[in-house]
Amino acid sequence: MSIPIVLTLVVAAALAFHFWSPWWLTPLASNWRQMDDTLTITLVITGVAFVVVNLFVAWAIFRYRHRDGHRAAYEPHNRRLEGWLIGITTVGIAAMLAPGLFVYAKLIDPPHDARAVEVVGQQWQWRFRLPGPDGRLGSSDPSYVTADNPLGLNPKDPANQDNRIVDAPELHLLVGQPVKLLLRAKDVLHDFYVPPFRTRMNMVPGMVTQMWLTPTRTGRFDILCAQLCGVGHANMRGVVVVDDKPAYDAWVAKLPTFASLQARHAGAAAADPLAAKGKLLAQTKGCAGCHTVDGSAGVGPTWHGLFGKTETFQDGSTAHVDEAYLAAFIRNPTARVPKGFAPLMPKVDLTNDELKALIAYIRTLGANAAPTPTPAGLPGTTPAAAPIPPAPATPSAAAPRVDVQLAQNSLQTPRPPAQYGPLTPSAPANQGTQPSPPSQPARRPGQQTPGLPLQNDSRTNMPPLGVPPAPSTNPPPSGSAQPSVPMIRPAP
């Protein structure tokens, strides 16, 4: 008798939790109310099946319980019962799947007046591209990816020259205007998801997927990645801001064009080619996904002001951040873990020349652009090897700022100081396990971790995302070229 009672209580508790649950859908902010309707149909059908099956099991156990003097009847087949079960199951499954198929067919068929916006995902950051006055997005290909061209736009395509580049995790949309989102990924599988819009779509490397929506109310909405894409997956956040016409036009007017960005970064790359090469490595090796360049919080320590400071570690020890420290830390990142961070960084396969370039780039982001003397050469170099060349200096007091601006994002606005929650390591820093490759999540046995630091920003509940360094015109170094996978060109 206890089993029928337990099953009945489980059904009653599940129904009560559903109707009085505090977790409901976020307010709708797009035209896709049909998404809510298909979800409601699925909940109703599966809910009815859950109640009927469990109550039937409880009734059968009670009705056919063991009683003295009674013997069970053996009936191996009942064609009438089997027919009813097959018919009801078929209708239920069709009722769940058919609406979703119709909605998906509409989701990938944008209206003719929809404005095109390109969304590019990379571990672990978002970038965007808008067409210029001609309304066209130019072609792109991974072979064009460089530090000054992170989106891989074809510089010879005239349609690219007036395209607006959003080199920040914040996209603005016009309320009431249909928008077609062209989605592509540069490294692994991502998924562009804004919960109040109800729409989401996978971003597959080597191809362009698309969906469309019409924002129906103004506000700020979080962008999430809905596919596990690496150790920084939870920190791959962004913001969609839905504006009215004046605010949207003012935002678009401030966006730089692809042509202007190319011209702006050409001089910066010529001023310090080694640092420009390091910026490219920070992009191709995934460093920019965890380490920010504007001082905001990220998965790892920010590179802004890192060079020249005194770093404190979890064991209470300290070290001066110079070339030797950075070389040792990059070679073995879990040997000494900075205080407030978890030992998540994998070992990165870098040659000595690549290591010098990356350190030169980090040096340009330090509080003082002038390098400190290197007590010893980088690993693998001989005593006669030339040290990392210092950043160019001029008599002007503003000279250090030239190098800093090399990596600053022209679209990133300074944020007010924020408080961050402490981060407790999930495992000892010097454990003997072999870290995973850069694109794979590190396997971490041991105790639980409270999570990544979150910013107390009243405008949104997302932590600031590491904005990648500004691009350069130098070609990618040998051995680190992007795979030549042709992109699908968006229709004019």
What domain range is 23 assigned to? 1-66+78-108
Q: Please tell me the predicted confidence (pLDDT) of residue 177.
A: 92
Residues 34-45: what's their mean pLDDT? 90
231 & 334 share domain: no
16 & 83 share domain: yes
Q: Residue 472 above 50 pLDDT?
A: no
Q: Is residue 87 part of a domain?
A: yes
Q: Please tell me the predicted confidence (pLDDT) of residue 418.
A: 41
- CATH number for the domain spanning 298: value is 1.10.760.10
Residues 34-57 as b or e (16 or more Cβ within 10 Å = b) = ebeebeebeeeeeeeeeeeebeee
In degrees and rounded to multiples of 5, residue 104 shows phi and psi of: -65, -40
Q: Please tell me the predicted confidence (pLDDT) of residue 268.
A: 60
84 & 12 share domain: yes
Listed residues 198, 228, 256: the one ending a domain: 256
User: Which comes out higher in pLDDT, residue 287 or 318?
Assistant: 318
Q: Is residue 266 part of a domain?
A: no
Instruction: Give residue 459's pLDDT band: very low, low, confident or very high (50, 70, 90).
Output: very low
Cis omega (within 30 of 0) for bond into 32 = no
Residue whose token pair is 């090897």: 385
User: Which comes out higher in pLDDT, residue 217 or 282?
Assistant: 217
Q: Is residue 443 part of a domain?
A: no
Q: How far apart are CA 190 and CA 207, in angstroms?
A: 12
Q: Please tell me the predicted confidence (pLDDT) of residue 267.
A: 62
Q: Residue 208 above 60 pLDDT?
A: yes
Q: Is residue 375 part of a domain?
A: no
Q: Is residue 386 part of a domain?
A: no
6 & 127 share domain: no
Q: Is residue 192 part of a domain?
A: yes
Q: Residue 124 above 50 pLDDT?
A: yes
Q: Please tell me the predicted confidence (pLDDT) of residue 269.
A: 60
- Element at 240 (helix H, strand E): strand 238-243
101 & 135 share domain: no
Share of the chain above pLDDT 70, in %: 72
The answer for 479, left when phi > 0, alpha when psi is -120 to 50, beta otherwise, is: left
Share of the chain above pLDDT 90, in %: 23
Q: How far apart are CA 206 and CA 130, in angstroms?
A: 20
Residues 372-396: what's their mean pLDDT? 40
Closest CA to 439 of 188, 247, 267, 265: 188
Least confident of 53-57, 94-98, 482-486: 482-486
Instruction: Give residue 368's pLDDT band: very low, low, confident or very high (50, 70, 90).
Output: low
311 & 248 share domain: no
- Convert the pLDDT of each residue in 395-419 to its tens digit: 333 333 333 333 333 334 444 444 4
Return mean pLDDT, the chain: 75
Instruction: Give residue 294's pLDDT band: very low, low, confident or very high (50, 70, 90).
Output: confident
Q: Please tell me the predicted confidence (pLDDT) of residue 270.
A: 63
Q: Residue 180 above 90 pLDDT?
A: yes
246 & 313 share domain: no
Angle of helix 2-19 relative to helix 33-63, nearest 10 degrees, comes to 160
3 & 134 share domain: no
Listed residues 92, 108, 124: the one ending a domain: 108
Q: Is residue 157 part of a domain?
A: yes
Three-state helix/strand/coil letters over 382-407: CCCCCCCCCCCCCCCCCHHHHHHHHH
User: Which comes out higher in pLDDT, residue 316 or 182?
Assistant: 182
Q: How many C-beta neighbours within 10 Å does residue 424 have? A: 14
pTM: 0.60
- CATH number for the domain spanning 187: value is 2.60.40.420
Q: Please tell me the predicted confidence (pLDDT) of residue 289.
A: 66
Q: How many C-beta neighbours within 10 Å does residue 459 have? A: 9
Q: Residue 182 above 80 pLDDT?
A: yes
Q: What are the tokens at 481?
A: 């070229």
104 & 129 share domain: no
Antiparallel, parallel or unpaired: β 179-185 and 115-122:
parallel
229 & 333 share domain: no
Instruction: Give residue 453's pLDDT band: very low, low, confident or very high (50, 70, 90).
Output: very low
Listed residues 203, 221, 256: the one ending a domain: 256
Instruction: Say how many domains are in the chain.
Output: 3
Q: Is residue 9 part of a domain?
A: yes
Q: How far apart are CA 414 and CA 396, in angstroms?
A: 25
CB 357 within 8 A of CB 278: yes
Residues 156-172: what's their mean pLDDT? 88
- Convert the pLDDT of each residue in 114-123 to its tens digit: 999 999 998 8
Residue whose token pair is 């949207």: 248
Strand order in the sheet with 190-193: 170-174, 238-243, 219-225, 190-193, 200-203
217 & 143 share domain: yes
Least confident of 82-91, 315-324, 381-390: 381-390
Q: How far apart are CA 463 and CA 290, in angstroms?
A: 12
Cα angle 290, 329, 453 (rounded to 5 degrees) comes to 35
173 & 204 share domain: yes
**Long-range pairs of 141-144 with CB within 8 A, sequence gap ≥ 24:** 141/484, 141/485, 141/486, 141/487, 142/186, 142/482, 142/483, 142/484, 142/485, 142/487, 143/481, 143/482, 143/484
Q: Please tell me the predicted confidence (pLDDT) of residue 240.
A: 93
Residues 189-218: what's their mean pLDDT? 92
